[in-house]
Amino acid sequence: MTDGIAGVLLAGGLGRRMGGVDKALVTLAGRPLIAQAAARLQPQVGRLIINANGDASRFAALGLPVVADEGDDLAGPLAGVLASLRWLARETPGARGLISLPADTPFVPGDIVRRLAEALAAHGEAGVAVALSRGRRHHVIGLWRSETAGEIAAALARGERKAETMVDRLGAIAVPFEDSLIGGQAVDPFFNVNTPDDLAFAERLLAGAAAPFVVGVAGWKNSGKTTLVVRLVRELIARGYRVSTVKHTHHDAGAEAEGTDSARHREAGAHEVAIVAPGRWGVIKGGAEIAWRNENEAALAAIVAQLAPADIVVVEGLKRAPIPKIEVRRAAQGDGPTLADGDPAVFAIAADHEIAGAQVPVLALDDVAGLADALLAAGGPALARERA
């Protein structure tokens, strides 16, 4: 997450080339396009909002504020940027900027905010930094300084609605991005879904993506598993990976509540979260709704198969699952033998104390970057190729 920066998903398009449907709510791989974009952008910003006109309740499942344009003349994406900048000034005084992203952009990079923020910081005279891919500048995929609201408002008052003209006037810095690899195919990271053919192409991409690398974070009670999972999810997303999680609990779980382990997974940016509880399991899809299945001891592979396409699935708990795993150990945890001694699937130990005679690498519990490196190395070359 980049401190002081908020994000807005622009969902004001009329979807004419999709037959006049509400394009942001068209489903891709079982999720609305806007939910796909939100899963990419939300972990990178302090706050995320939606810019859309009409009935705001249609986006209720996302649990995000919806900000409408300030006029009723449908002045295009610049009006959405302006309304969002003014909302930000009211709700988050002192915010440094706002990144705008069309809601139909499902493959946006996991480091876009950081890279645009670095470019803007290096060019103090620029009012906005925009993304560039395949030689094309994306005029509404950009990070806007908070103080640009006045100039945007003045331009709209003069009837100037073209985003290209505005970013030129603001001295835009264009930041180049390379293609992403999805399903083994090079794809423009800012590919947007405008037509039914575009949607079919995106579906084929995700259907052809490699199976995710399933990796465990295991340990005994009070070892710090959830904290490490949350940190790893954030680190891996920042490196551009799509990450989902599976949380095993010995307690009967009902509706997800704020502060629960699964909620912490989602807040860290997990694409989707599956909860495995006694006698049942379910996947959280949008908001905190859980689609429960009454099934005891479901196979982990079957659970992972129900998750939306991802590069990595991190499993918290299920210490006996036959998957590669990181063992977590703390000096203050409860009793229990070292898992690595009897489980050849353990490839690293994360600990807050010295462990003598370990047969696998031992890393500091707070060395998140090092643990992420070890995780990716365990995933092998295929994982690196499928980075999206």
Delimit the domains of the chain by residue range. 5-206, 211-385
pLDDT of residue 388 exceeding 50, the answer is no
Class at the top of the CATH hierarchy for domain 5-206: alpha beta
Is 251 in contact with 261 (CB distance < 8 Å)?
no
319-345 pLDDT, tens per residue? 888 999 999 998 887 667 788 888 999
Q: How many beta carbons lie within 10 A of that of residue 371, not counting itself?
A: 24
34-62 pLDDT, tens per residue? 999 998 898 889 899 999 999 999 999 99
Q: What is the average pLDDT score of the chain?
A: 87
Pair of tokens at residue 226: 């959830």
Measured CA to CA, the distance from residue 210 to residue 191 in angstroms comes to: 20
Is 345 in contact with 322 (CB distance < 8 Å)?
yes
Residue 17, pLDDT score: 62
Mean pLDDT within 216-237: 92
Pair of tokens at residue 366: 């707070």
Residue 78, pLDDT score: 95
Task: Compute the chain's Rg from CA coordinates.
Answer: 22
Is 106 in contact with 136 (CB distance < 8 Å)?
no
Residue 385, pLDDT score: 46
Residue 287, pLDDT score: 52
Q: Does domain 211-385 have CATH number 3.40.50.300?
A: yes
Q: Counting every residue, how long is the chain?
A: 388
Can you tell me whether residue 211 is helix, strand or coil?
coil
Amino acid of residue 139: H
Is 311 in contact with 205 (CB distance < 8 Å)?
no
DSSP one-letter string for 172-194: PEEEE-PPEEETTEEE-TT----
Residue 382, pLDDT score: 64
15-34 pLDDT, tens per residue? 566 766 789 999 998 889 99
Question: Taking Cα atoms as reference points, which of 7, 93, 76, 83 lies closest to residue 42?
Answer: 7
Mean pLDDT within 303-315: 87
More confident residue, 268 or 98: 98
Which residues on neighbouring strands pair with residue 136, listed in sequence order? 133
Which DSSP letter does residue 247 get? E
Mean pLDDT within 368-375: 95
Tally the C-alpha atoms within 13 A of residue 267's C-alpha that lie toward its C-beta. Answer: 13
Element at 281 (helix H, strand E): strand 280-284
Q: 384: pLDDT confidence band, cut at 50, 70 and 90?
A: low
Measured CA to CA, the distance from residue 122 to residue 175 in angstroms comes to: 12
| CA dihedral sign of residues 304, 310, 311, 317 | negative
Is 11 in contact with 244 (CB distance < 8 Å)?
no
Cβ-proximal residues to 65 (8 Å cutoff; 6+ apart), any chain: 49, 50, 87, 91
